[in-house]
């Protein structure tokens, strides 16, 4: 479980200061996968550094797995860091060591007895599907396999939390899907809490239960993925479930309709069909995100029926507004 309260980080800068994080409140439940998205400079790296205690917050608190990082002494902090596994974009494996030796490395540092090390490395390589490559050197592994070694290494000390910093940015689409599948799988098996920093909406769509949009060090949007998509004002929704661009035809208005968990697709479509033959669906996207069916539709509505159509859609509990 991760809880950030009033997290603020200010860096001194020439001629003033840079507020990198400006009062972040965030709670990620145990066993959830949470995505943090935001443009370059939004504060994502600073957030990761505060979560790993590489950076001390200017104010506010970071609580990971029940421990307030600011309240820990050096020794306790080192122990707590082991409760946090890190997965990076560039895996940084020891080139002269095999996959198995790379996974064993944090266990050696933690002075785990040799026999237990070997057993644990076997378990971890099996978990990430790399038993057959245990003796391969990094140069002999594909990008996806290297990332699997990176994930196994991050899990070696049995962490409660996995922080992933752009874990798939260096990978192609197929390998990305496999690595995200693996992250979901280890979350399911080990009950980990996972935070993924990413600039890829596909990562959020594929694997996240909830998402935060950071902007200038603040939370601009936040929520369960299905709820964010169902919010017609959400910019994240437009990025997550995009509709093709269009302009309204003369005498009509475009009404955008979004729905999330709790609305069956068939009942939404039945409501739309009930609006009458002069209301057309000009674009639509329906997907399953975080296990919920979510969707957005663009309707072409005669301008004269605008208020009545919006009234009917709202009456059916749907989010709808003129685009």
Ligand X SMILES: Nc1ncnc2c1ncn2[C@@H]1O[C@H](COP(=O)(O)OP(=O)(O)OP(=O)(O)O)[C@@H](O)[C@H]1O
Whose Cβ is closer to ligand X: residue 41's or residue 223's? 41
For ligand X (CB under 6 A), the number of binding residues is: 12
Strand order in the sheet with 280-289: 280-289, 292-302, 252-259, 319-322
* DSSP state, residue 192: -
Q: Identify the CA nearest to 38 among candidates 50, 28, 24.
A: 24
Cβ of residue 199: shortest distance to ligand X, in angstroms? 7
Q: Which is nearer to ligand X, 38 or 159 (CB)?
A: 38
What whole-number distance in Å separates Cα of residue 195 and Cα of residue 256? 31
Stretch that binds ligand X, among 11-19, 97-105, 178-186, 303-311 (CB under 6 A): 11-19
The pattern of x and - marking residues 76 through 105 that bind ligand X according to CB under 6 A reads ------------------------------
In the complex, least distance from residue 44 CB atom to ligand X, rounded to whole angstroms: 4
Question: Within a 10 A sphere around the Cβ of 323, how many other Cβ atoms?
Answer: 15
Rounded least distance, CB 38 to ligand X, Å: 5
Site for ligand X in 16-55 (CB under 6 A): 18, 20, 38, 40-46
Q: What angle do CA 81, 82, 83 make, to 5 degrees?
A: 85
Q: Which two tokens stand for residue 48?
A: 């990761």
- Least distance in Å: CB of 31 to ligand X? 26
Closest CB 50 distance from ligand X, rounded Å: 9
Report in angstroms how near the CB of residue 216 gets to ligand X at its nearest: 8
Q: How far is the CB of 11 from ligand X (least distance, A)?
A: 3
Which lies closer to ligand X via its Cβ, residue 43 or residue 232?
Answer: 43
- For residue 202, count other CB atoms closer than 10 A to its CB: 14
What's the CA gap between 229 and 238, in Å, rounded?
Answer: 8
Nearer to ligand X, 122 or 199 (CB): 199
Left if phi > 0, otherwise alpha if psi is -120 to 50, otherwise beta: which for 292? beta
Asked if residue 193 binds ligand X (CB under 6 A), the reply is no
Instruction: Specify which residues 60 forms β-bridges with.
Output: none
17 vs 249 by CB, closer to ligand X:
17
Report the relative pairing of strands 252-259 and 292-302 from DSSP bridges. antiparallel
> Which of 206, 87, 182 has the alpha carbon at shortest distance from 127?
182
CB closer to ligand X out of 41 and 284: 41
- Please state the closest distance from residue 45 (CB atom) to ligand X, in A: 3
Residue closer to ligand X, measured from CB, 5 or 45:
45
- Exposure class string for 117-152: b at 16+ Cβ within 10 A, else e: beebbeebbebbebeebbeebbeebebbbbbbbbbb
Residues forming contacts to ligand X in the complex (CB under 6 A) are: 11, 13, 18, 20, 38, 40-46
């Amino acid at each position: 479980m991760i809880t950030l309260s009033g997290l603020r980080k200010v860096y001194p800068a020439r001629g003033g200061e840079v507020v990198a994080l400006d009062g972040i409140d965030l709670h990620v439940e145990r066993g959830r996968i949470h995505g943090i998205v935001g443009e370059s400079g939004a504060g994502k790296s600073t957030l990761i550094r505060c979560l790993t205690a590489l950076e001390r917050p200017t104010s506010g608190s970071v609580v990971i797995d029940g421990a307030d990082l600011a309240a820990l002494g050096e020794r306790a902090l080192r122990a707590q860091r082991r409760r946090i596994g890190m997965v990076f974009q560039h895996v940084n494996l020891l080139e002269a060591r095999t996959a198995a030796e790379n996974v064993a490395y944090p266990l050696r540092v933690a002075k785990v007895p040799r026999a237990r090390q070997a057993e644990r490395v076997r378990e971890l390589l099996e978990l990430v599907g790399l038993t057959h490559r245990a003796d391969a050197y990094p140069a002999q592994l594909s990008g996806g396999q290297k990332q699997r070694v990176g994930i196994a290494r991050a899990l070696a000390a049995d962490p409660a939390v996995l922080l992933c910093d752009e874990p798939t940015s260096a990978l192609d689409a197929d390998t990305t899907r496999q690595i995200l599948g693996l992250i979901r799988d280890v979350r399911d098996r080990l009950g980990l809490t996972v935070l993924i920093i990413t600039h890829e909406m596909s990562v959020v769509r594929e694997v996240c239960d909830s998402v935060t949009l950071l902007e200038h060090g603040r939370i601009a949007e936040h929520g369960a993925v299905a709820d964010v998509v169902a919010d017609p004002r959400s910019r994240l929704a437009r990025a997550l479930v995009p509709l093709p661009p269009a302009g309204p035809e003369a005498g009509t208005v475009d009404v955008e309709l979004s729905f999330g968990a709790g609305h069956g697709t068939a009942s939404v479509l039945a409501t739309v069909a009930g609006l009458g033959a002069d209301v057309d669906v000009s674009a639509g996207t329906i997907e399953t995100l975080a296990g919920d069916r979510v969707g957005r539709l663009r309707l072409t509505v005669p301008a004269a029926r605008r208020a009545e159509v919006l009234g009917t859609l709202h009456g059916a509990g749907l989010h709808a507004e003129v685009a």
